[in-house]
Amino acid sequence: MLRIERLSKTYADGKRALADVDLEIRRGEIVAVVGGSGCGKTTLLRLIAGLDRPSAGTIRLDGEEVREPHPKIGVVFQEPRLLPWLSVADNVAFGLGRRAAAERRAIVEDALARVGLSEHAERLPRDLSGGQQQRVAIARAFAAGPQVLLLDEPFSALDAFTRADLHGHLLRLWQQAGLTVVMVTHDVSEAVTLADRVVVMRPDPGRVHDELEILLARPRDRASPGVEGTSRTLYAALDEARRPPVRETEVEASGLWW
């Protein structure tokens, strides 16, 4: 469904953010992207969203190349980015301006119901908690009817209880709507708890180091032996990804044969 081929990004100052990234993300899959700072996770998400253009390579959604924001791709950022002067309902409806009023109202009501905020439709963002604001941002992205939902660490600033609550809302949306989800996170337990597959990135320049299939039944408990064991495996992959690659000449010079 979402195919990324030999994707590279070099900025005007010469910084190589990504180099030759190849990924295939299946329809209905949740994929988490993890890695240390500077490995190009957010750059990769921005390129998939069409918010930036690659220096080389292609991104295709159902065979169609993505080079600008696409109606089938929704984005939720780290901050909710709500318009403070609009009500919750009007924030969710913000991208639906061309639809008839009755259709727009029905879509907003459905989106707010799915994230448990129907009773807050007329409130302003300032009257909501941080977790509620992030739910509004998710509802806004969902209201546009995307096939792919991109998440750029939207739960990172929230406390553990609010984060767990939002995880539940996200999984319900994913199951009900058949979404494909690509999420960037620094939280290993979050990646293992939510994802079907975790992509580990290596920095300087950013590229895929490893991929880990999560073969655990849902719902997943962070404290369960399966999640803890898989998290240890993922931590080991992240540690390996941070190490500089060993060149053949260095091995020869060391005199080691194994």
Q: 247-258: per-residue pLDDT in tens?
A: 545 545 555 444
Q: What is the pLDDT of residue 10?
A: 95
The answer to whether residue 102 sits within a structural domain is yes
- 206 has a pLDDT exceeding 90: yes
- What size, in residues, is the chain? 258
113: amino acid identity, one letter: A
Count up the domains in the chain and report the number.
Answer: 1
Mean pLDDT for the stretch of residues 15-22: 94
Q: Is residue 94 part of a domain?
A: yes
CA atoms of 207 and 16, how far apart (whole Å): 10
Whether 20 is in a domain gets the answer no
SS3 188: helix
Backbone angles phi, psi at 255, to 5 degrees: 80, 5
Percent of the chain with pLDDT over 90: 69
Domain with 93 in it: 80-145
Report if residue 10 sits inside a domain: no
Q: Do 144 and 96 contact (CB within 8 A), yes or no?
A: yes
How large is the C-alpha radius of gyration of the chain? Answer: 20
Q: 41-71 pLDDT, tens per residue?
A: 999 999 999 999 999 999 999 999 998 999 8
Q: What is the mean pLDDT of residues 109-124?
A: 93
Does residue 210 have a pLDDT over 90?
Answer: yes
pLDDT for position 154: 85
Residue 166 confidence (pLDDT): 86
Give the pLDDT confidence of 99-108 residue by residue, as tens digits. Answer: 888 999 999 9
* Interval 126-177: pLDDT, tens: 999 998 999 999 999 989 889 999 999 888 878 888 888 888 888 988 988 8
Q: What is the mean pLDDT of the chain?
A: 90
Mean pLDDT calculated for residue range 235-247: 83
- Asked if residue 246 is part of any domain, the answer here is no
Does any domain span residue 131?
yes
Residue 48 lies in a domain: no
- Does the residue 13 lie in any domain? no
3-state secondary structure of 48: helix
| All residues at 6 or more sequence positions from 34 whose CB lies less than 8 Å from its CB, including other chains | 41, 184, 185, 186, 188, 191, 198, 199, 200, 201, 234, 238
The pTM for the full model equals: 0.89
| Secondary structure of 94-112 as H, E, C letters | HHHCCCCHHHHHHHHHHHH
Query: Residue 181 CA to chain centroid, in angstroms?
Result: 6
